Structure 1
Amino acid sequence: MAPASSTDVDETFLGGKLLIATPSIGDPRFDRTVIVMCDHSPDHAMGIIINKPADDLRLPELFEQLGVDGIRPAPDTPVLIGGPVDQDRGFVLHTRDYSSLEATLPVSPRIGLTATKDVLDAIASSHPPQRSLLALGYAGWGAGQLEQELAANAWLVIELDETLVFDTGDADKWQRALDLIGVSPEHLSALSGHA
């Protein structure tokens, strides 16, 4: 048996992968989204939308609201809407040069997820994570729900790309994710056009 190639996707557990919404998604909250899948098991799935900035909320303003004060000013980046669940709670995707033993969930070998104030303090410190983004809320699925959406062609699954996550502008992430696998939006519309 030949070894699996790096493009093969095990759709059983998708932690550490990216989901790209297709026109079949049927939910405006997820239209043209790209999601970093942080956790996936038979019981649940959880991910962070990485390309939906919050209206008029940037990281320095949020740091001020939360009383995060450090030697470095917060990067002037948008706060993202990470999903419809727990939107009053912050989730930070970051490189794993920062890690909290009790609070960081390893997403991939190079990316972690932390949802405690400690990571915000680290971002404002002299030793911040090399790359990070903050989202309010997350996308969550119950047992079997994501698998049903995958079967209905609502999502494309690709390998996690750190450059896409941290270095691509929010407005360009969906198109860039499709470009990584050579799929055009027109092709997606044609595939999802039948009822």
Structure 2
Amino acid sequence: MASLLPETLFEARGQAPAPSKDFYQVLVTRKEVIFRWWKISLRSEFRETKPGELRESHDDFLDDPSLQIQIAIVFGGSTLEHIFNMCRGNFDFLVRLPDAVLLYIVSYLDLEDIARLSQVSHRFETLCNSDKLWEMIVQNLTGKITPEMSSLANEVGWKQFFFTNKLQLQLQLHRRRQTARGSTSDDQLSD
């Protein structure tokens, strides 16, 4: 599973709380935590200040409360907690999976679980509302999708197609057939 991890695990950039204008960056790689800062000041004594960088191994970071406090001040407690988890080796491999694999897994969840999962992050919201997912769900439940059903689902959206009751679907399919017959008759009349 470690092979799924990129070299840079996490990156955040931000400005220190007011009145400071200083900029900061924190990077977490597989082996270390890198904290960088850029002092921004109009005061003459700080004009010549060069950007700074502090590099610590994961273990050293876990034992360095002063750096932890700086990160919490600039980036917030949730970011600090996230960095702690990475330094302790607690990675969320689920979010690193490709969309196709996640869609396959999600397609077997219960509807209530899909609704909850869509609230986890923007990525999962996008996946849980995607036409591809709902097409897979319809395919899993029905087994066979006719070209006519597929055409209607592509027109209205697969999620809408799934949640439309059977009578409404039959009515919509009937209307499509009537429209198709009407346009065929019109074509024959014009010939």
TM-score normalised by structure 1 residue count: 0.25
Decide which structure has the larger Cα Rg and report it.
2
Higher relative contact order (CA 8 A, sep 6+): 1
In proportion to residue count, which structure has more strand?
1
In proportion to residue count, which structure has more helix?
2
TM-score normalised by structure 2 residue count: 0.25
